[in-house]
Amino acid sequence: MTTKKKLIAGNWKMHGTLVSVRQLAEAVIDGVEKDASLLDRCDFLVCPTFIHIPAVRAVIDHNRGALRVGGQDCSPHETGAFTGDIAAPMLKDVGCSAVILGHSERRQHHAEGDQTVAAKAVQAHQAGLMTIICVGETEAQRVAGQEKTIVKQQLDGSIPAGATASNTVIAYEPVWAIGTGKTATPADVAAMHAFIRGILVGKMADGAGVRILYGGSVKPENAGELLAIPDVDGALIGGASLKADQYLAIAKAV
Ligand code: PEP
């Protein structure tokens, strides 16, 4: 059983307005400050859209809150003629401490492959950002019994040289469980997280220390059971992270 501090990461995706993201960040910070024991057990990170990062950062600065902010993606390049892209040093510059990479929605809608994810991770690490590298199989791949092959392939291809337990977090997110209300069974989660741990230990000198998050319809009702599974070191939360009470209830379940 791991003793790492759990990482409770909210992926706000393409949601919110300036007013609503400020309110959400304030409500999360209020909730964390009301229950100081939460900070002994959990680290808190929220990832708004790029354009909302400074607003959330301002709320954090104003409250001196123990909430960190991250991006949902970054460029595989450091700077240059890449219209519409955001570079890792820019995320760092506006106060991010982390970035989500290789989310299945990016892999699916932007055709991102493992090599691109690894190149992005290199940039993020060089900029001093912690990467949350997402992996996970589709429903068809699970039905075909290929989930471990796929996850191993994604880990091998997406984790760059230079990854360590302090700059890298892995999020196992079965694609069929994201935003669907379907959650992997605790037995399936336990088996996959143990499998991922084995790969990380084989790959990285400090692989035992890398946090492995579970993501896919995590809610207050299932968080206690999921977060108690060995090698589940936190959660990457989509829908439920858009409501401060649900996000906080997930952390309280730790
Ligand atoms: C996600 O987008 O990373 C996610 C896990 O979403 P949800 O919690 O809504 O399934």
12 has binding-site annotation: yes
In whole angstroms, what is the distance from residue 71 CA to residue 91 CA?
Answer: 7
For residue 1, the model assigns a pLDDT of 37
Domain boundaries, the chain: 6-252
pLDDT tens for each residue of 7-28: 999 999 999 999 999 999 999 9
Ligand 1: atom nearest CA of 178 is: 10
pLDDT tens for each residue of 230-248: 999 999 999 999 999 999 9
In whole angstroms, what is the distance from residue 238 CA to residue 250 CA?
Answer: 12
In whole angstroms, what is the distance from residue 131 CA to residue 28 CA?
Answer: 22
157 has binding-site annotation: no
With a 6 Å cutoff on the Cβ, whether 173 touches ligand 1 is yes
CA 75 remoteness from chain centre: 17
Record the tokens describing residue 104, joined without a space.
């299945």
pLDDT at position 3 over 90: no
Distances (CA, A) of 36 to 32, 66, 138, 165, 241: 6, 10, 38, 26, 20
In whole angstroms, what is the distance from residue 189 CA to residue 117 CA?
Answer: 23
Q: Is 77 left (phi over 0), alpha (psi -120 to 50) or beta?
A: beta
- Catalytic residue, candidates 52, 103, 125, 193: 103
pLDDT tens for each residue of 188-206: 999 999 999 999 999 999 9
CATH class of 6-252: alpha beta
pLDDT tens for each residue of 136-177: 999 999 999 999 999 999 999 999 999 999 999 999 999 999
Contacts of 176 (CB under 8 A, 6+ apart): 138, 139, 142, 182, 216
For residue 98, the model assigns a pLDDT of 98
Ligand 1 probe mutation, 101, 132, 217, 243, most atoms within 8 A of CB: 217
pLDDT tens for each residue of 205-230: 999 999 999 999 999 999 999 999 99
Work out the pLDDT band at 63, boundaries 50, 70, 90. Answer: confident
With a 6 Å cutoff on the Cβ, whether 237 touches ligand 1 is yes
Please confirm, yes or no, whether 62 is among the known catalytic residues: no
pLDDT at position 2 over 60: no
Work out the pLDDT band at 66, boundaries 50, 70, 90. Answer: confident
With a 6 Å cutoff on the Cβ, whether 222 touches ligand 1 is no
With a 6 Å cutoff on the Cβ, whether 178 touches ligand 1 is yes
For the segment 88-107, the average pLDDT, to the nearest whole number, is 97
Record the tokens describing residue 241, joined without a space.
């992270």
11 has binding-site annotation: yes
